[in-house]
Amino acid sequence: MEYYDGIKTSVSYQIVSQIKYIRTMKQAILITAYKDLDFLEKIVNFFDDDFSFFIHIDKKCKENTTGLSQLKNVYLFSKYHIEWGGSNHLMAILLLMREAYRRNEYAYFHLITGSDFPVKPLYAFKKFFEEHQNENFMEYFPLPRESWGEDGGLKRIRYYWFGLNRVDVRGRFWELIRLSLRIQKKLKINRKFRYFDGKLWAGGTYWSLSQKAIETFIRFVDENPGYIRQFRCTSIGEEIFLQTALLNLNVPVINNYLRYIDWGEDGANPVTLTEKDYDRIMSSDCFFARKFDKIKSAKLINKIKSAGL
């Protein structure tokens, strides 16, 4: 049993799965996805009517959305063309936050990817967040950070990352972006962060936040529209924009995002989870795991479901 900032995150999961937890608190699941929309249906079907789903599907995605759109409490959006590292992912997240918040009916908001899957029984999920509904769970640390490489990660916002919203970083146009960065370094370009005296915080993109935290953030960006503009032409700004605002606005945050992610040996990309990861996932205090592949992770998903999910 582990504790994070004094909050007990481990609950007993030995109760038989047939026990139904009382329906009370409404929660919103926010999802950014770009493929395997049929897998999203499995995520939605795990939850009950106390949950609503706000899903942004990459504008490039050509898969049929009929199955998803026919599910109850599902709201679909496809406004942004998203490439890895580009600021459009941040904008899609902000869109989902606004759409869910404006309905004024959710006490908790959870941001996940389309390749996440819940790994605790629904009653345990609901019980935990009802008991901690005023707490906020999100990874955070100050920037610069040595493990974030050159400049401790400051290069993400220090330079202009032109074209990331339209360029696949694995393609040939990536060399043009790299050339632009080299020129900016020689010219000593250094974009100043104009908010919070330049004090930056960062962490994992995904989180579970209370209604009060979401309200505080949205009110701040509405009153300071230049804050979001500050993240245009940045790289992976979604790992900075929310942590920086909430921590500087003194919103209490527990430094744990309750997600199981295996970052592999290089620490750069999440490893696709398989059946061999089952014991580590289920013994963790996490409520979601990432990342799942509908084919490679099929046995793992079935094993998780057979455990009473």
| Helix, strand or coil, per DSSP, at residue 201 | strand
pLDDT tens track for 282-298: 999 999 999 999 999 99
d(CA 196, CA 143): 13
3-state secondary structure of 303: helix
- Is the pLDDT score of 116 beyond 90? yes
What does the alpha-carbon distance between residue 130 and residue 21 come to, in Å, rounded to a whole number? 11
Quick one: pLDDT at residue 308?
A: 62
The H or E element containing residue 290 is: strand 288-290
Helix axes of 211-223 and 88-101: crossing angle, nearest 10 degrees: 120
- H or E stretch at 8: strand 7-8
In whole angstroms, what is the distance from residue 83 CA to residue 165 CA?
5
Whole-number pLDDT of residue 282: 93
Instruction: Choose among 254, 307, 261, 262: nearest CA to 128.
Output: 254
Domain 3-11+25-142+197-306 is found in CATH 3.90.550 = yes
Q: Which DSSP letter does residue 137 get? A: B
Mean pLDDT of 44-55: 96
The residue with tokens 């040939």 is: 172
Q: Above 60 in pLDDT, residue 151?
A: yes
| Position 76 confidence tier, pLDDT thresholds 50, 70, 90 | very high
The answer, yes or no, to whether residue 136 has pLDDT greater than 80, is yes
Query: pTM higher than 0.85, yes or no?
Result: yes
3-state secondary structure of 62: coil
- Please report which confidence band the pLDDT of residue 17 belongs to, taking 50, 70 and 90 as the band edges: very low
- pLDDT of 15: 41
Overall average pLDDT of the 156-178 stretch: 85
Give the pLDDT confidence score for residue 173 in this predicted structure.
82
- Residues 211-239 have pLDDT tens digits of 999 999 999 999 999 999 999 999 999 99
d(CA 36, CA 83): 17
Say how far apart CA 106 and CA 8 lie, in whole Å. 23
